[in-house]
Amino acid sequence: MRDKGESEQDVLEQLSVYRARDTSYDRVLSAMCTHPHPIAVRAHEMFMETNLGDAGLFRGAHELEHEAIAMLGGMLGDPGVSGYITTGGTESNIQAIRAARNSAISDDPNIVVSESAHFSFDKIADLLRVDVRKAELDEEFRVDPACVEAQIDDNTVALVGIAGTTEFGQIDPIRELSDMAVERRIFLHVDAAFGAFVIPFLDKPYDFDFRLPGVSSMTADPHKMGLCTIPAGGLLFRDPSHLQELRTHTPYLTIDTQYSLSGTRSGGVTAAAYAVMRHMGLEGYRNTVKYCMKMTGRLVDRVREFGVEPLIDPVMNVVVLDVGDTAKVRTKMAQKGWYTSITRSPLALRLVIMPHLSEKRLEEFLDDLELVCREL
Ligand code: 0PR
């Protein structure tokens, strides 16, 4: 740091230079985040300095958190859920499994997750010292319930289903997992980090949320398809006693209990999550999902015209394409300024169709993809 500070204008100019190096979302088909809704930005600014780590000082922000959690719960089948606004899917998953582990009695705990689980579960294995067992997928890239069942033993403290897998946008058979969880009395966590703001608005209904009796907790991220500012995740528990497993005593603060992983945390994102959900309403999200699914359908129709097939018919706005030499196609598309992603197994081209992608950009992307695929 310099001894004498620089003028505000100088610093802002420097920031603009750095900001110009960032990618703008319009050519990004690899991200699960998008432009936040303007009302989320406004709300975030209003509550930026509030600290939910000392919630007694910021009663307004604290109340907004309860409201935001109730709205998330209402969308997912239980407005009476307990929880808090996390920093994202990773924190929600960590905390859900921590609660499950703490509420169970085992010296050698394990959890059974789907092979398609997000890499946050690898962090969980390391942080929480639980054995993370991975169950195989069926040919449609959903977890195979029989494989989950085969991995369960007396030390299994949680099952995890994914509703909206990171790589394929697939939905695990949550009803079967819920039945298993009820029968075996095991905690069931549903990771709907991406899917929470998509699945309720698809034409086809899916059972994936608290309407299923076995679902104990859910991850549902406003900062993905919820159009909120970053970092905003949702952690929801059906049974308030599970949230209590995360309780830390904070005697010298204005409120003597904290549940979050982080201590000091801005109420900005909480206000943003509240504001964007109030403003969008279910109808707003339904329209967003309708747009993304229309674009997804257009993409699939068009690639089929030049001989490229998706690995599965897209369930949500994630498309995985068999383009032959995936690495080469990805590199060539990157040279044309497009950000794409891949799946690990099998290796294929992964595209996420977020609300920031315009119809015009999609057509340009498809023209370039056709050229690249035909040149192979
Ligand atoms: N669970 C699922 C199903 C996810 O897809 C993700 C993230 C997480 C949990 C973890 O969420 P946080 O990243 O909020 O902790 N899925 C994307 C991924 O890792 C996130 C992402 C977003 C990646 C924007 C890239 C990007 O530009 O692939």
pLDDT band at 128 (very low <50, low <70, confident <90, very high): very high
Look at residue 328 in the predicted model and tell me its pLDDT: 97
Query: 248: Cβ–Cβ under 8 A, 6 or more apart, which residues?
Result: 257, 258, 259
Asked if residue 376 has pLDDT above 90, the reply is no
Other residues' Cβ atoms within 10 Å of the Cβ of residue 307:
11
CA-nearest residue, atom 9 of ligand 1 = 89
User: Any alpha helices (H) in the chain, and if so which ranges?
Assistant: 8-21, 38-47, 59-75, 89-103, 120-128, 145-151, 174-184, 240-244, 268-305, 326-335, 359-375
Identify the pLDDT of residue 133: 98
Q: Find the 12 Cα to ligand 1 centroid distance in Å.
A: 30
Kindly state if the Cβ of 162 falls inside 6 Å of ligand 1.
Answer: yes
Mean pLDDT confidence for 143-162: 98
For the stretch 255-305, pLDDT in tens is: 999 999 999 999 999 999 999 999 999 999 999 999 999 999 999 999 999
List the CATH code of the domain at 8-35+282-375.
3.90.1150.10
The distance in angstroms from the start CA to the end CA of the chain is: 51
Is residue 117 within 8 A of residue 162, CB to CB? The reply is: yes
How far is residue 54 CA from its own chain's centroid?
26
How many angstroms does the Cα of residue 32 sit away from the middle of ligand 1? Answer: 6
Pocket lining: 88 vs ligand 1, CB cutoff 6 Å: yes
Best CA proximity match to 92, nearest among 69, 59, 63: 69
The DSSP code for 137 is B
Q: What angle do CA 270, 273, 279 make, to 5 degrees?
A: 140
The model's pTM = 0.98
Distance CA(238)–CA(36), nearest Å, equals: 28
Distance CA 207, CA 148 (A): 18
Contact 357/348 with Cβ under 8 angstroms? no
pLDDT band of residue 68 (cuts 50, 70, 90) is very high
The answer to whether residues 79 and 299 touch, using CB atoms and an 8 Å cutoff, is no
What H or E segment, with its residue span, contains residue 336? none
Does residue 90 line the site of ligand 1, with CB under 6 A? Answer: yes
Q: What is the best residue among 27, 32, 235, 343 to mutate for testing ligand 1's pocket, by most ligand atoms within 8 Å of CB?
A: 32
If pLDDT is split at 50, 70 and 90, which confidence band does 48 have?
very high
Q: Say if residues 81 and 192 touch (Cβ distance below 8 Å).
A: no
SS3 category, 267: coil
pLDDT (0 to 100) of residue 235: 98
Cα–Cα dist 208/162, whole Å: 9
State both tokens at 247.
Answer: 């309780």
Structure confidence at residue 82 (pLDDT)? 98
Question: How far is it, in rounded angstroms, from Cα 306 to Cα 296?
Answer: 16
Measured in angstroms, how far is the CA atom of residue 161 from the centroid of ligand 1?
16
Strand ranges inside 136-226, DSSP E: 156-162, 187-191, 217-219
Ligand 1 site, residue 87, Cβ cutoff 6 A: no
Cis bond before residue 205 (omega within 30° of 0):
no
3-state secondary structure of 235: strand
Domain ranges (residues) in the chain: 8-35+282-375, 38-279
Ligand 1 atom closest to 90 (CA): 15
Residue 160 has pLDDT above 90, yes or no: yes
DSSP, res 357: -
Question: Is the model's pLDDT at 5 over the cut of 90?
Answer: yes
Region 88-97: mean pLDDT is: 98
What gap in Å lies between CA 149 and CA 274, rounded to an integer? 38
Residue 303 · residue 366 · CB < 8 Å = yes
pLDDT of residue 348: 98
Q: Is CATH 3.10.20.30 the right assignment for the domain spanning 38-279?
A: no
